[in-house]
Amino acid sequence: MRFGRFHLRVEQSRSAFASGNARWTNLDLDPVPRAGRVWGPLSFISYWISDAFNAATWQFASSIIAVGLSWRESLGIVALSFFIISFVIAANGAVGSIYHIPFPVIARASWGFWGSYIAIISRVILAIFWFAIQNVNGANAVKAMISAIWPSFLSMKNTIPQDQGIETNTMIAYMIFWIVQMPFLCIHPNKVRWLFATKSVLVPAAWIAILIWAFVAEGKGALFEQRATVSGSQYSWVWLASMTSVLGNYATLSVNQSDFSRYSRVSAKWQLLYIPLLPVIFTFISFIGIAASSAGWTRYNTPSIPWDPIELISHWDSRAARFFGAFSFALASLGVNISANSISAANDLMALFPTYVDLRRGQIICGVISWALVPWKILESASNFLNFMSAYAIFLGPIAAIMLWDFWLIKNRKYDTVALYQPDTPIYRFNAWLVNWRAVVAFLVGVIPSLPGLSNSVNSRIQVGVGIHPYQFGWLLGFVGTSLVYIALSYGFPVREALIERAVLSDEVYEGREVEGEGVEEGREELGESKREGVGKEKGFAVY
């Protein structure tokens, strides 16, 4: 169906992966051929630097301090959290580097074709939600930029009811940021990496300048003298809840790193770079947030700590400094919205509706429906921010655990790429419903203990007593609980069809090799210029 030049259906794959069934793939869901693998080490480093430098990372330690812990404990929580999750990100990202397929396709190996929708829908909801949150951060930055040029913008008459949690000038800034952002959502991941490279230079330079200002302005500032205001058992639960909120912020990348690593042209060993890199980068940015907030609190004698960086910038006397400082946060929000949210949501929407959604349409859909989530209400206070992050984590911890152990332990790093696109083959069917009940049971075991606490965080009038505590360390509880149950069920009730003798890589299909006796000559037309590079297994991983 078409309307003028617009085709309702997206271009479908004609490779051997589709096998005449457009329900499970399209061109963007197919494995990336060699010609499309252009991400090298510098691309991934700039990607992560770009992803780390955003307002949420700035607010990690500051918001932890706001709920009663000291700056030292805040930095310790951030460092430990990213040390833990970096292993999961690296392990799940390696699958994309080896097989060059996205998260929704990888999920079929452990969940089954229809079962994978549980993981996909869980992630797409959260990705769109976080996309909307970053829109608010970007809008606040745009508002500060406009007010630096036009001061009376801040005193504009508000025509929006007060109970909506947003004023007219902020809504205008929200619309501006959203409109500017939309063209970037139409860019393919192979081209958008240049945005990450640009951001990884400009934003760190601006934030290091803010750090220098903080120490020049007030030295350490009064915040560095504060100690924890909670003690006893409350201290322990606040500590765990804060760690869960930090883990929750990047829990999505612990499952979807393959959405980017699938474009890698280097060995999967490069994914190990995240283990030392992520704790250092994120802890450093959190320290900038602490130092700047402390300096602002002392210098401007604010009644509360300005843990929101835009609030801090608003106190600066120099209008030029306010404009460029706010610009760095607007650019930060733009970059992270694409790297962590819109592309993730697009891959999920594409897997749900492959006939009608490709990467570009998926990102645009994400941008459009994010309006309905009223994200400005989530960011009204530090406690609400932490509650949102905790809620984010309890679903993705179990999903990450299932994916990790399925590939590295249960399936012994051996997937059949062709079978992941063809439900008629017995390897990943599991049963007539195309659902791996082992993954579903393990997921429920990991999530259910945190649900009472989640309901209380959404509505404090719902009293759950000690039921709040599992939710306070929901990511760790979900990850560990799901891991144990999934491993036990997978060994106790093995799916022997899925335990293949050797891996089948996408290159075998694109090169037209024989895969278990079936011709795959159709894959040749997808290969293009990549034929000259040859075929070989990824070094460092015994995938055959």
Residue 527 has a pLDDT of 37
What is the domain range of residue 92? 34-157+166-392
Residue 522 has a pLDDT of 42
Helices (H), 263-308: 274-299
* pLDDT at residue 524 is higher than 60: no
On whether residue 291 sits in a domain, the answer given is yes
Q: What is the mean pLDDT of residues 513-536?
A: 40
**In which band, very low, low, confident or very high, does the pLDDT at 541 lie, cut at 50, 70 and 90?**
very low
Region class of 266: left (phi > 0), else alpha (psi between -120 and 50), else beta:
beta
On whether residue 137 sits in a domain, the answer given is yes
Q: Model confidence over 256-279: pLDDT tens digits?
A: 899 999 999 998 999 999 999 999
* pLDDT at residue 461 is higher than 60: yes
For the chain, what is the domain count?
Answer: 1
Q: Which of 11-20, 185-194, 397-406 has the highest mean pLDDT?
A: 397-406
Average pLDDT, the chain: 85
CATH number of the domain that 219 lies in? Answer: 1.10.4160.10
On whether residue 471 sits in a domain, the answer given is no
For tokens 């999934």, the residue is 486
Residue 544 has a pLDDT of 26
On whether residue 138 sits in a domain, the answer given is yes
Residue 382 has a pLDDT of 57
Q: Model confidence over 227-256: pLDDT tens digits?
A: 888 888 888 888 888 888 888 778 888 898
Residue 474 has a pLDDT of 86
Q: What percent of the chain has pLDDT over 90?
A: 49
Q: Whole-structure pTM over 0.75, yes or no?
A: yes
Q: What is the mean pLDDT of residues 415-432?
A: 92
Residue 389 has a pLDDT of 64
Question: Number of H helices and number of E strands within the chain?
Answer: 21, 2
Are residues 440 and 41 in contact, defined by beta-carbon separation less than 8 angstroms? no
Q: What is the mean pLDDT of residues 204-220?
A: 86
List the end-to-end C-alpha distance of the chain, in Å, as a whole number. 43
Q: What is the mean pLDDT of residues 92-120?
A: 96
Taking CA atoms, 166 is separated from 114, 171, 374, 379, in Å, by: 40, 7, 9, 11
Q: Do β-strands 2-3 and 6-7 pair in parallel, antiparallel, or remain unpaired?
A: antiparallel
Q: Report the 10 Å Cβ neighbour count for 216.
A: 9
Bridge partners, residue 6, by sequence: 3
Q: What is the mean pLDDT of residues 489-516?
A: 85
Q: Model confidence over 476-486: pLDDT tens digits?
A: 999 999 999 99
- Retrieve residue 167's tokens: 């004023």
Are residues 61 and 293 in contact, defined by beta-carbon separation less than 8 angstroms? no
* pLDDT at residue 489 is higher than 80: yes
On whether residue 435 sits in a domain, the answer given is no
For the CA atoms of 501, 24, 265, 415, the dihedral, rounded to the nearest 10 degrees, stands at: -10
Q: Model confidence over 217-232: pLDDT tens digits?
A: 766 667 777 788 888 8
**In which band, very low, low, confident or very high, does the pLDDT at 134 lie, cut at 50, 70 and 90?**
confident
Are residues 221 and 294 in contact, defined by beta-carbon separation less than 8 angstroms? yes
**In which band, very low, low, confident or very high, does the pLDDT at 293 lie, cut at 50, 70 and 90?**
confident
Q: What is the mean pLDDT of residues 422-436?
A: 92
Among candidates 385, 77, 80, which has minimal Cα distance to 228? Answer: 77
* pLDDT at residue 525 is higher than 80: no
On whether residue 205 sits in a domain, the answer given is yes
Q: What percent of the chain has pLDDT over 70?
A: 88
On whether residue 419 sits in a domain, the answer given is no
Residue 237 has a pLDDT of 87
Residue 39 has a pLDDT of 94
**In which band, very low, low, confident or very high, does the pLDDT at 390 lie, cut at 50, 70 and 90?**
low
CB neighbour class for 378 (10 Å; exposed up to 12, middle 13-18, buried from 19): buried
CA distance 475 to 82: 13
Q: Model confidence over 67-87: pLDDT tens digits?
A: 888 888 999 999 999 999 999
On whether residue 95 sits in a domain, the answer given is yes
Q: Report the 10 Å Cβ neighbour count for 92.
A: 26
